[in-house]
Each structure stands twice: as C-alpha cells, then as structure tokens.
C-alpha cells in the first residue's frame, strides 16, 4: 500500500488549532441537527440509506456489544438492532443524539453516550463491533481515533467504516461540480447554514482515498483490511479486524 497521507487541521479554507476546529465542528452539528437527516436525503437523493443498509448487511452475522460511533440520530444503530446485540450510539453532539432519542421514543432499545473518537469512553477490549458512518473525517486526529477504536475492540473484533471517498476517475469531474455548486447552496436554502455544507465538501476532499485510509488502518494494527466501493466510489466501506 502507499504511504499514509498526512492529516491537516483546517476548517473550510482556514487553518485553525485542533481545539478550535473541534469546537467549530461541534457548533456545525448543533446548528444542523434538526434538519440533518432531511439534508442527507436531499443531498444524496436518498442513496445514503442504501449505503447504510449495505453496512448493516455486512455486519449481519456479528453479535455482542456494538458501538455506532458518531451515530448522530441513530439511523445506523436502528439497522443494527437485533437478537444477541447490545447497540450503543456514541457521539460528541448532544443535539444530534437528542434528535435521535426523540424520534425513537422511550421504548427503543438503543443506548446513547456522549464521546469523541479520539478518547472513547469504553474499557479496553470491551466492544465486539464498532461502526462509523460519515463521521471519521470529523476527527481532529485521525490516527489517534483509529488507535482508540482498536483499543476498545476485543481480539477478533470488527471495525466497519462507511465514509465518502474518491469516485472513479471518469465520474470525478461531474461529482466535483455537484459538490461545489449544489451542496453549499442546498445547505443554505434548507438547513440555513451554508458554512456547514462548505465544511462538508472540504472535509470530504481532505479525507484519505480508499488506499490511503487502508494504509492508516494497517498502521493502527488492524488485520484483514479491505474496502468496497459503493456508487462509483463516491463512498466506500472499509473493513478491519483486531488480531486474535
């Protein structure tokens, strides 16, 4: 695999400190929380739901304690519910989780816990499966987040990450036009927060490509690292296991 890419700490087009970037990201998600799921449906034409269902199918055989990191409103966690599973959403945004808890109602069997990827509130080797969808690119220190994920997973535990990636070369120019021209304008019109969706586009561009992220996973100590493109490489499912 290629050399792992370096990760910067910019926010949009501005270079900021790690703490400042973390605070700005938190404010972005607080602002868009009430319309977050609606915006995902509009921006992806609902396709993000198909991607998340594919993630759930790839994890169908796994049981035990499952953490959906950066789980937001709990849409992926609901897909992971099932017999023999204890499902927990861990997210730094209280506003996002509040939206999810309200929608699920008091009888929904999901646990909710505030926490960040770089400092997970779980004991070592205590999680059987950790998933994350479109959240790892918000980590201020990606390598530290991967190290934490590996720390909390049991020997033989699985890590599955769904994240935006690099589309096929012939499709990339069209995707770039959509990303830079449509997404911020739609974010301004519907979510009333163009800054949030300008950040979204920039964060996608900064995240490592398929091979680069696979390299980072291997350096963090994961085995059986592989990836699976979805929708022409717009997004990608990454898989890794903790050695037995």
Scanning the chain, the segments in alpha helix (DSSP H) are 18-32, 36-44, 47-58, 75-80, 94-104, 142-152, 172-177, 183-186, 194-206, 210-219
Residue 1 lies in a domain: no
Residue 93 lies in a domain: yes
Number of domains comprising the chain = 1
The pLDDT-based confidence of 106 (bands split at 50, 70, 90) is low
Q: What is the pLDDT of residue 9?
A: 43
Residue 2 lies in a domain: no
Residue 235 lies in a domain: yes
pLDDT digits (tens, 9 = 90+) for 109-129: 999 999 999 999 999 999 999
Helix (H) / strand (E) containing 14:
strand 14-15
The pLDDT-based confidence of 105 (bands split at 50, 70, 90) is low
Check which CATH number belongs to the domain holding 27 and give it. Answer: 3.40.50.150
Residue 4 lies in a domain: no
Residue 5 lies in a domain: no
Q: What is the pLDDT of residue 138?
A: 87
Residue 30 lies in a domain: yes
Q: Domain of 65?
A: 10-241
User: What pTM did the predictor assign?
Assistant: 0.87
pLDDT digits (tens, 9 = 90+) for 37-91: 877 888 888 999 999 999 999 999 999 999 999 999 999 999 999 999 999 999 9
Residue 136 lies in a domain: yes
The pLDDT-based confidence of 153 (bands split at 50, 70, 90) is very high
């Amino acid at each position: 695999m290629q050399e792992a890419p370096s990760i910067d700490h910019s926010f949009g087009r501005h270079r900021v400190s790690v703490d400042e970037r973390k605070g700005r990201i938190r404010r972005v998600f607080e602002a868009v929380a009430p319309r977050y799921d609606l915006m995902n449906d509009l921006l992806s034409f609902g396709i993000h739901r198909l991607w998340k269902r594919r993630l759930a199918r790839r994890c169908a055989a796994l049981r035990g304690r499952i953490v959906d990191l950066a789980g937001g409103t709990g849409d992926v966690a609901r897909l992971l519910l099932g017999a023999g599973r204890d499902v927990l959403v861990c997210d730094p945004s209280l506003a996002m989780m509040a939206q999810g808890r309200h929608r699920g109602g008091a009888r929904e069997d999901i646990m909710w816990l505030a926490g960040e990827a770089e400092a997970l509130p779980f004991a070592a080797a205590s999680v059987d499966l950790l998933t994350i969808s479109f959240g790892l690119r918000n980590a201020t220190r990606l390598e530290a987040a991967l190290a934490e994920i590996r720390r909390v997973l049991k020997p033989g535990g699985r890590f599955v990450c769904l994240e935006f990636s690099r589309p096929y070369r012939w499709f990339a120019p069209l995707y770039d036009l959509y990303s830079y021209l449509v997404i911020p304008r739609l974010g301004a019109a519907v979510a009333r927060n163009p800054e949030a969706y300008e950040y979204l586009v920039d964060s996608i561009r900064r995240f490592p490509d398929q091979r680069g992220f696979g390299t980072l996973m291997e350096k963090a100590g994961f085995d059986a690292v592989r990836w699976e493109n979805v929708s022409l490489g717009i997004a990608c499912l990454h898989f890794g296991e903790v050695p037995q």
